[in-house]
Chains A and B, each alone.
Chain A
Amino acid sequence: MASSSSVSSTMLRRTLALCALVVFLGLVPLLAVAQQQAPPPPKEEEVPFWAVGRPKAGPGAQLAPVPPYPVPVAADKLPVAKIKVPPGFKVEVYVPEILDARGMRLGDKGTLFVSSNFVAGKIYAVVDTGGKREVKTIAEKLMLPNGIEFHKGSLYVATPKAITRYDDIENTLDKPKDPVLVYDKLPGVVPHGWKFIKIGPDGKLYLPVGAPCNICEPNSDEYAHIRRINLDGSGMEIVARGVRNTVGFDFHPKTGELWFTDNQRDWLTEDLPNDELNRLSKPGQQHFGYPYCHQGDLLDSEFGWGKTCAEYVRPVTLLGPHSAPLGMRFYTGKMFPEKYQGAIFVARHGPWNRSKKFAGDVVAVFLNANGTVKSVEPFMTGLVENNAYLGRPVDVLVMKDGSLLVSDDHAGAIYRISYSK
């Protein structure tokens, strides 16, 4: 060890000295050229897309997206003891150290598929091998592969640019087949380009195309809508317009209607607008307000002039200012008490563009018999501490036994919530 390191350090020094000399000589003419050139013309002011409209001074000027850490929290350091759930419910760590865990889908044979976004760029498969859960990476180096869906043996993966399909995936986890292209008629841009996808009771694949900005007025045929396609990529129809950035939806277990969360604009004020839960009752005919009207009753300060909120569909309920509601699922399991039947669990990621952090939780939305919202109640809380996040829920999944999984891309973990009397 000692001799090998002294040999290598001598070699390193020689290499470095040589590099320094040759690169310096190479740079001299470049620098000389640079100094002779005319000054550049001024460029118009640009900021990152998320910072457009941010306050120029004061506490607001310091707000920026909360970046997930590139290393998941170690299994024994997860804040499971701090998480609160209603009496009778229990929280446990289901999968620790799964970096950037985002969307979740269950395969027919029990494989848990987990997507990720910019940090990991991977698709994972969690396999239960006799009580021990193993995380396999089945695809990697993907661009924002947030959207996944499992259907008839195939895993669908959506990036901002394309939807692809991995056939017979549960039998090929160790060596998946090459993905088949399903659909790529997408803008492919990064802002709000990451997707949530789901196949509806009509057998069509639903996908959003978000607004390519915080607040702007894009062509509604191209952006800020939800569309559906046949599973071969044909037959595209826009089913809902005026949708800024939905990262979670589900179909009502009885009516089949599409319900979706939507993240509203940034930087208007700390407490407005609220993010939304919406219900699509007439596919292809409804506009949900963006960029003209937010939260059903607040005209936009720039694009709302000459409009009225009555022109747009109101949300069924508000979910808090900048609370970032993402994945949602109707509860159809048998484990939880009767009152949860048909209720909606919504994962709220928690705001980045608000001084006081909150949410970072899962709420339960209870419905009346006529489909209106009865109440929104906290379900899984305790992940906000000292105005920072200990975790940020992204998606929820009802397991076959009726327990609920919650993914957390901040700590890199999946929790399981169960109930017993």
Chain B
Amino acid sequence: MRRRARPRAGLPPSACAAGLLAAALLVFAAPAAAQPFAERVKLCPACHGPTGQSSLPDTPSIGGQPSFFVVAQLFLFREGRRSNAAMTEAAKGLTNDDLRAFGEYVAKLPPPGPPADPPDPARFARGRALSRQHPCGVCHNPDFSGREQMPRLANQREDYLLKAMREYKSGARIGYAGAMATELQPFSDDDLRELAHYFSHLGSR
């Protein structure tokens, strides 16, 4: 199985996105403006998990994210300034009141816990050192719980953290205030991997 899968490693993300988009288009097939918040909010768990803790690769846990951050990201999706097929579809036609309602709803979901697998102690230590040299906690809070437009990093999925940081660093993702592209320039790709390992495993040992 693995021998067959490996050569196709470049394909899955796009296949995944296409599948998600098809699903999202079905889900959101009704005129967007006609769907009240109560209907739309039922769709979040399909990808982000029933309590906001995602078990889906490359898909973030959203529980416990600051409401401002959630509003800002949905705003960016709605305005076409952040790109993700499923979320772009999900954010179409959201009113400002909808954005506020989603922000409050998501912020009240419980924050994710650490993953089941223990951290690699050496990588965890390197990630921690990197996060202090370039003090991520200045903005994201010392416990990485996030505040205002800056997301919670603690116990976010490792793969998603790496994906997000790579997108910021390359400029593929701009973010709300535009700070992260600059902030991540000093880091190598290896640094980003160690940071992702550290943030995702906080509190797990």
Q: Measuring CB to CB, which residues of chain A are less than 8 angstroms from any residue of chain B?
A: 1, 4-5, 7-9, 11-13, 15-16, 18-20, 22-29, 34-35, 37, 39-40, 42-49, 51, 64-65, 67, 69-72, 74, 97, 118-119, 121, 140-141, 190
User: B148 contacts which chain A residues (CB < 8 A)?
Assistant: 67
User: B193 contacts which chain A residues (CB < 8 A)?
Assistant: 34
Contact A67 B12 (CB under 8 A): no
Contact A4 B29 (CB under 8 A): yes
Given A29-B6, A71-B100: A40 in contact with B194 (beta carbons within 8 A): yes
Contact A43 B130 (CB under 8 A): yes
Contact A39 B126 (CB under 8 A): yes
Given A22-B15, A23-B16, A42-B129: A74 in contact with B96 (beta carbons within 8 A): yes
User: B123 contacts which chain A residues (CB < 8 A)?
Assistant: 35
- Shortest beta-carbon distance from A356 to chain B in Å: 20
Interface size for chain B: under 10, 10 to 19, 20 to 34, or 35 or more residues?
A: 35 or more
Q: How far is the CA of A96 from the CA of B186 in the complex (A)?
A: 42
Residue in contact with B122 in the complex, picked from A5, A26, A39, CB distance below 8 Å: A39
Contact A71 B75 (CB under 8 A): yes
Q: How far is the CA of A97 from the CA of B99 in the complex (A)?
A: 14
Query: Which of A4, A23, A42 has the most chain B CB within a 10 Å cutoff?
Result: A23
Given A15-B23, A70-B71, A74-B96: A40 in contact with B190 (beta carbons within 8 A): yes
User: A118 contacts which chain B residues (CB < 8 A)?
Assistant: 176-178
- Shortest beta-carbon distance from B102 to chain A in Å: 11
Contacts A26-B9, A43-B134 known; 13 new A-B pairs at CB < 8 A: A1-B30, A4-B26, A11-B26, A12-B27, A12-B47, A15-B19, A19-B19, A23-B13, A39-B122, A69-B68, A70-B76, A71-B71, A97-B96
Q: Measuring CB to CB, which residues of chain B are less than 8 angstroms from any residue of chain A?
A: 1-2, 5-6, 8-9, 11-13, 15-16, 19-20, 22-23, 26-27, 29-30, 46-47, 55-58, 68, 71-72, 75-76, 79-81, 96-97, 99-100, 120, 122-123, 126, 129-130, 133-135, 138-139, 148-149, 159, 176-179, 182-183, 186-188, 190-191, 193-194
Contact B177 A20 (CB under 8 A): no
User: A23 contacts which chain B residues (CB < 8 A)?
Assistant: 12-13, 16, 57-58, 159
- Shortest beta-carbon distance from B65 to chain A in Å: 14
24 residue pairs A–B, Cβ–Cβ below 8 Å: A1-B30, A12-B27, A13-B46, A15-B16, A15-B22, A16-B20, A18-B15, A19-B12, A20-B57, A23-B58, A24-B57, A25-B9, A25-B12, A26-B5, A26-B6, A28-B2, A29-B6, A40-B191, A43-B133, A44-B133, A45-B133, A47-B135, A48-B139, A71-B100
Q: Which 9 A-B pairs have the closest CB atoms?
A: A22-B12, A23-B57, A15-B19, A19-B16, A8-B26, A70-B75, A26-B9, A25-B5, A12-B23
Q: How far is the CA of A45 from the CA of B133 in the complex (A)?
A: 5
Residue in contact with B190 in the complex, picked from A5, A20, A37, A69, CB distance below 8 Å: A37
User: B75 contacts which chain A residues (CB < 8 A)?
Assistant: 70-71
Contact B47 A16 (CB under 8 A): yes
User: A11 contacts which chain B residues (CB < 8 A)?
Assistant: 22-23, 26
User: A43 contacts which chain B residues (CB < 8 A)?
Assistant: 130, 133-134, 186-187, 191
User: B46 contacts which chain A residues (CB < 8 A)?
Assistant: 9, 12-13, 16
User: A190 contacts which chain B residues (CB < 8 A)?
Assistant: 178, 182
Q: How far is the CA of A67 from the CA of B129 in the complex (A)?
A: 28
Q: How far is the CA of A190 from the CA of B186 in the complex (A)?
A: 17
Q: How far is the CA of A25 from the CA of B5 in the complex (A)?
A: 7
Q: Which residue of A lies closest to B12 (CB)?
A: A22
Q: Which residue of B lies closest to A49 (CB)?
A: B182
Contact B126 A40 (CB under 8 A): yes
Q: How far is the CA of A22 from the CA of B135 in the complex (A)?
A: 35
User: B183 contacts which chain A residues (CB < 8 A)?
Assistant: 46, 48
Contact A20 B56 (CB under 8 A): yes
Residue in contact with A40 in the complex, picked from B1, B139, B188, CB distance below 8 Å: B188
User: A74 contacts which chain B residues (CB < 8 A)?
Assistant: 96-97
